[in-house]
Amino acid sequence: MKLLLTLGIILGVSNASAKETVQIGLASNFSELSTVSFNPFGGYFKDAIELAVNDNKSLLNKAGIELVLKTYDYGIDDINVIKKVKEAAVSKPLAIIGYNYSSAALLAAPVHIQEKLPMLSPSASANRLSTFGKYVHLGSFNNQFMVETLAKIATTILKKKKILILTAVNCAYCVDLANSFGEEVKKYNGEIVKNISLLQEDTDFTKIAEEAKNLNFDAVFVPNQELTSARLIAALTEVGITKPFLGADGWGNEGSEFFRVLKGKKFTGYSVTHWHPKLKTAKSKKFVESYLARYKKLPNDTSVLAYDSMSLLIQALAKTKPLTRENLEKTLSSFTTFDGITGRAYLEPHKAPKKDILVLKTTDSGFAISQIVSPNKVVSRE
Amino acid sequence: MNEIKSLKQKVSEISIYSFICMTVIMFTCFMLYSIKKNKITESQIRSELSLNLKNQNNLFLPSFLLPEQQQGMSLILEKIKSDEGLEDIKIIQSQKEITGVFENCRPNENISIVCPSNNLSLTAVVAPLKDETGYVYGFIFKSKKNSSAAYLEGAIQFAGVALLIIAIAFIAIYLRVARLLSKTLPNSMDQLVKWIESEIEGKQTECVQLQFKELEDLKVKISEVIERANKSRDQAVIGQVTSGIMHDIKTPLQSIVTAVHLVSEQEENSAKRLRRLENLFTMCLSSIPLIGEIIETTLDGNRKIQITKSNANLRDTIESSLQYTRELSRLRNVTVEVDAPHEVIASYDSLQFIRVINNLLKNGIEAAAESEATLNRKVKVSLASGDEHIKLTIEDSGSGFKVSPEKAFRAFRTTKTRGTGLGLLISKKIVEAHNGMIMASNSSEFGGAKMEVVLPTCEGMR
């Protein structure tokens, strides 16, 4: 008995001391953190990842994992994603978490499949991401769920059938949303009056506003990232357009950045998102407190999705034995549910999870939660 | 003699000359400015075109890799075209898609190629669009106007506009000045001439207001000159007419006075007194009509001649005139020759026409007599008859006309030491009343004056 105890202690000590170092790659645009960029959230992503590692330290310790995070910064050019994936593939990372935007995720996915390197994108939502299959994992509901919700709001709640769309055509996320929304609106006997093209980098939308002024529509769908969307809405309200505006998760959540661009211009807007700082769940409140205490700023939806995805990845790492890329891929594909800050996610291998969506409505100074829609409330999903 | 140009032609020449000068100066300035500007060389264009190729490669590749972003390619192309001031930009897959002035440009999968256009006005860059693995998705083709060409084009456009403005300005100036010099000024000059004529003729005219101050000043000066000339002329006329009349009527009056004096010397009712009274009567009969004729002749210079035509023999009229002047020619030692057919019938007023021949013969005899030569003092009277006209020529061996012979017909113009200067004017009026012409010239045969009278025949008049 004494011998067994001694062996146990020795094994325990040896287990504790012989932690396995696991490297996880963080892929994002870290080099451009400015809020004037259309992709400013690399910093929020990394902060949340580190917070998640910190919060899951006991689990990692228990699993004997020494987690090393390695950043893969692809900058502002999405095409650099391919180069970074290839770098990671021949290096140590067991998996890559990141590609916050759909375009980056869509470029990375084929290379991950080719290199058999698992990837987990916390926030990319393009519908096509759910079609790649093995090695591609998603932490966010997809565009389809968002446009179903928005089309329903526009046509049945707001009773707006004639929709104008303003799409940044060099943004995969934006084009995917615009096209899906168009299809969805038609199901409710709605009509897309016109889909006006623009570029993400554009800042002067005077011509588009003048063009829109001469069109007959009931509402405007602006499926772009936060700054571009805010600038478009500012330009359209400037020429006197008072029709309601609709947007997706690109608009962000609490809207401080959005409303800063609008400079006090009033508009009626509805958007959908994953999370809001005012969400009154225990997990959400605790997360906001921890984040605020650690980084002295409020988290955003990028932070929350990154936190949830990293927590999921840590759970997978803890369950994977031995720790190989292939085994990790199997573990990630085996999860069916996950309870995160954004609520319970229903997981299906290599597809976008199903979880609650928050409908936000504009107030005088930001976005407020209007309602929470559960996935089973929307009739048609992938 | 050089052709005299009109004011309009002169203005046209000056306008064209000025326009050419302005144009040459303008283009010279443009060329100098262009040369200075053209220091932007082709290599700078190359560097401009190549500057953002790496970024643009990264910008376009997602459009090839992501179907969602394919439609964004055209908008990105438009944006780059606008940002870089390109002539053309496109994504091509092979050399076949490069046509026109860049047809010789060959894309290379490894490096970007810079190609000048065939006409050297454009420069293009063709760069491969490839990822990290070296896979080539296509080529980006960008062309830009060479700065010099672009500048030259701009300069030409500007010069064209400037040229047009200058041309319009010159046309406007030309039209204005040409109108001024070819219409307004001549009209004013015409008004001035008419005013001068009226002033000379002494007609009462309305006050003429000329359009230019210079002409108004000229008008004042001319008015003063005419005023002075009129005064001098009036005095000369009065003097000449008076002295002429006095001279002409002095002789017959003297004859009458002498005859009266001779009568008064004799006793009353004496036979001698009776004879002298008859002589006085005869003298009065011949002298008083002559005095009347002298006064009549003087008045004829100022009024229209009335003629009564009848068929008569011109030779007879010449002979009658020779009778009147025979004594004169004898006294002056001048030979009068006649070369005329015996019968030349014409329709004319013989009483008036004899005044013409008398006048011309007297002038010829007196001119021949006053010549320096003492021998061969001659006057020749010739008469020639044609189908349509009859020509009477009287030539003398005098000194001829020293100035323009035509001036001989003006009133009070005479070369004689004694004469009214009205004889030729009256002769001219009589001839013209017969629809004839009288011409003065110098005789090549005799060296003196030559007077020609042309009368239409009955056939000619028909």
Q: Which residue has the higher pLDDT, B439 or B181?
A: B439
Give the angle subtended at the CA of B391 by the CAs of B388 and B392, to the nearest 5°: 155
Tell me the average pLDDT of chain A. 89
Chain B positions in Cβ-Cβ contact with residue A103 (cut-off 8 Å): 62, 66, 68-69
Asked if the Cβ–Cβ distance from B69 to A103 is below 8 Å, we say: yes
Please, which residues have CB within 8 angstroms of residue A14's CB and are 6 or more apart in sequence?
A: none
Rounded CA-CA distance A88/B76 in Å is 31
Asked if the Cβ–Cβ distance from A106 to B66 is below 8 Å, we say: yes
Confidence of residue A380 (pLDDT cuts 50, 70, 90): very low
Is some CB atom of chain A closer than 8 A to the CB atom of B458?
no
- Joined together, the tokens standing for residue B245 give 């009349």
- pLDDT tens digits for range A83-136: 999 999 999 999 999 998 999 999 999 999 999 999 999 999 999 999 999 999
Chain A positions in Cβ-Cβ contact with residue B75 (cut-off 8 Å): 169-170, 197-199
Q: How much is the average pLDDT of B82-90? A: 89
Confirm whether pTM is higher than 0.90.
no
CB nearest to B76's CB, from A77, A170, A176: A170
Rounded CA-CA distance B429/B359 in Å is 13
Backbone angles phi, psi at A55, to 5 degrees: -70, -25
- pLDDT tens digits for range B102-112: 888 888 988 88
Of B7-21, B191-205, B262-276, where does the model show the most confidence?
Answer: B262-276
Task: Locate the domains of chain A by residue range.
Answer: 2-140+280-346, 144-273+357-377
Rounded CA-CA distance B160/A344 in Å is 75
Which residues lie across from A367 on neighbouring strands? Answer: A362
Evaluated on CA atoms B370, B371, B374, B375, the torsion sign reads negative
Tell me the average pLDDT of chain B. 80
Rounded CA-CA distance B276/B266 in Å is 8
- Long-range Cβ pairs for the range A178-182 (8 Å, 24+): A178/A221, A178/A223, A180/A127, A180/A143, A180/A144, A180/A147, A181/A147, A181/A150, A181/A151, A181/A221, A181/A223
Chain B positions in Cβ-Cβ contact with residue A173 (cut-off 8 Å): 68
Confidence at residue A9, expressed as pLDDT on a 0 to 100 scale? 43
Confidence at residue B412, expressed as pLDDT on a 0 to 100 scale? 53
Confidence at residue A378, expressed as pLDDT on a 0 to 100 scale? 45
Confidence of residue A7 (pLDDT cuts 50, 70, 90): very low
Is some CB atom of chain B closer than 8 A to the CB atom of A201?
yes
A144-273+357-377 shares the fold of A2-140+280-346:
yes
ipTM, 2 dp: 0.85
- pLDDT tens digits for range B116-125: 887 777 888 9
User: B439 by DSSP, 3-state: which?
Assistant: strand
- pLDDT tens digits for range B391-412: 999 999 988 887 667 666 765 5
Is some CB atom of chain A closer than 8 A to the CB atom of B53?
no
Q: Give the CB-side neighbour count of residue A105, counting CA atoms within 13 A.
A: 33
Asked if the Cβ–Cβ distance from A172 to B66 is below 8 Å, we say: yes
Is some CB atom of chain B closer than 8 A to the CB atom of A290?
no
Q: Is the pLDDT of residue A354 over 60?
A: yes
Q: Is the pLDDT of residue B297 over 70?
A: no
Asked if the Cβ–Cβ distance from B66 to A103 is below 8 Å, we say: yes
Confidence at residue A34, expressed as pLDDT on a 0 to 100 scale? 47
Rounded CA-CA distance A298/A78 in Å is 27
Rounded CA-CA distance B361/A318 in Å is 160
Confidence at residue B229, expressed as pLDDT on a 0 to 100 scale? 81
- Joined together, the tokens standing for residue B348 give 């004319």
CATH code given to domain B310-461: 3.30.565.10
Q: Which residue has the higher pLDDT, B313 or B285?
A: B313
For A100-109, A274-283, B367-376, which range has the lowest pLDDT when averaged over its residues?
B367-376
Q: How much is the average pLDDT of B21-36? A: 75
Confidence at residue B390, expressed as pLDDT on a 0 to 100 scale? 92
For A155-159, A333-337, B291-295, which range has the lowest pLDDT when averaged over its residues?
B291-295
* Mutation site, B53, B58, B64, B68, interface A, largest A CB count within 10 A: B68
Domain topology for A2-140+280-346: Rossmann fold (3.40.50)
Tokens 């906001």 sit on residue: A288
**Do A346 and A353 form a contact (C-beta atoms < 8 A)?**
yes
Confidence at residue A6, expressed as pLDDT on a 0 to 100 scale? 43
Residue among B365, B421, B374 at smallest CA distance from B394? B365
Confidence of residue A375 (pLDDT cuts 50, 70, 90): confident
Is some CB atom of chain A closer than 8 A to the CB atom of B13?
no
CATH 3.40.50.1220 fits A144-273+357-377, yes or no: no
Residue among A170, A114, A112 at smallest CA distance from A138? A112
Q: Which residue has the higher pLDDT, A36 or B160?
A: B160
Confidence of residue A38 (pLDDT cuts 50, 70, 90): very low
- pLDDT tens digits for range B261-285: 888 888 888 888 888 888 888 878 8
CA distance readout (Å), B427 to A30, A324, B237, B406: 127, 148, 19, 13
Asked if the Cβ–Cβ distance from A170 to B69 is below 8 Å, we say: yes
Confidence at residue B244, expressed as pLDDT on a 0 to 100 scale? 59
- Joined together, the tokens standing for residue B124 give 């293009």
In this structure, the strands spanning A269-273 and A245-247 are: parallel
Q: Is the pLDDT of residue A48 over 80?
A: yes
Which residues lie across from A371 on neighbouring strands? Answer: A359
Q: What percent of chain B has pLDDT over 70?
A: 80
Confidence at residue A36, expressed as pLDDT on a 0 to 100 scale? 42
* CA B375, chain centre distance (Å): 49
Q: Which residue has the higher pLDDT, B357 or B177?
A: B357
Q: How much is the average pLDDT of B66-90? A: 89
In this structure, the strands spanning B345-348 and B136-145 are: unpaired
B282 burial type by CB count under 10 A (0-12 exposed, 13-18 middle, 19+ buried): exposed
Confidence at residue B41, expressed as pLDDT on a 0 to 100 scale? 56
User: B381 by DSSP, 3-state: which?
Assistant: strand
Chain B positions in Cβ-Cβ contact with residue A168 (cut-off 8 Å): 72
- Joined together, the tokens standing for residue B303 give 């009024």
Confidence of residue B139 (pLDDT cuts 50, 70, 90): very high
Q: Is the pLDDT of residue A361 over 50?
A: yes
Q: Is the pLDDT of residue B416 over 60?
A: no
Q: What percent of chain A has pLDDT over 90?
A: 76
Q: How much is the average pLDDT of A277-299? A: 92
Confidence of residue A37 (pLDDT cuts 50, 70, 90): very low
CA distance readout (Å), B118 to B102, B115, B141: 7, 9, 16
Chain A positions in Cβ-Cβ contact with residue B131 (cut-off 8 Å): 79, 82
Rounded CA-CA distance B252/B289 in Å is 10
Q: How much is the average pLDDT of A275-301? A: 92
Q: Which residue has the higher pLDDT, A288 or B115?
A: A288
Rounded CA-CA distance B35/A215 in Å is 51
Task: Locate the domains of chain B by residue range.
Answer: 42-145, 213-300, 310-461
Please, which residues have CB within 8 angstroms of residue A260's CB and are 6 or more apart in sequence?
A: A230
Q: Is the pLDDT of residue A341 over 70?
A: yes
Asked if the Cβ–Cβ distance from A82 to B131 is below 8 Å, we say: yes
Chain A positions in Cβ-Cβ contact with residue B55 (cut-off 8 Å): 77
Q: Is the pLDDT of residue A139 over 50?
A: yes
Asked if the Cβ–Cβ distance from B62 to A170 is below 8 Å, we say: yes
Confidence at residue B237, expressed as pLDDT on a 0 to 100 scale? 64
Rounded CA-CA distance A69/A2 in Å is 41
Those of residues 64-83 in A touching chain B at CB distance below 8 A are: 77-80, 82-83
For A139-153, A187-201, B17-31, which range has the lowest pLDDT when averaged over its residues?
B17-31
Other C-beta atoms closer than 10 Å to the C-beta of B43 total 10
Confidence at residue B171, expressed as pLDDT on a 0 to 100 scale? 83
Confidence of residue B293 (pLDDT cuts 50, 70, 90): low
Rounded CA-CA distance B389/B386 in Å is 5
Chain A positions in Cβ-Cβ contact with residue B53 (cut-off 8 Å): none
**Do B422 and B244 form a contact (C-beta atoms < 8 A)?**
yes
Confidence of residue A14 (pLDDT cuts 50, 70, 90): very low
Please, which residues have CB within 8 angstroms of residue A78's CB and are 6 or more apart in sequence?
A: A101, A103, A104, A107, B58, B62
Asked if the Cβ–Cβ distance from A77 to B72 is below 8 Å, we say: no
Residue of A nearest to B130 (CA): A79
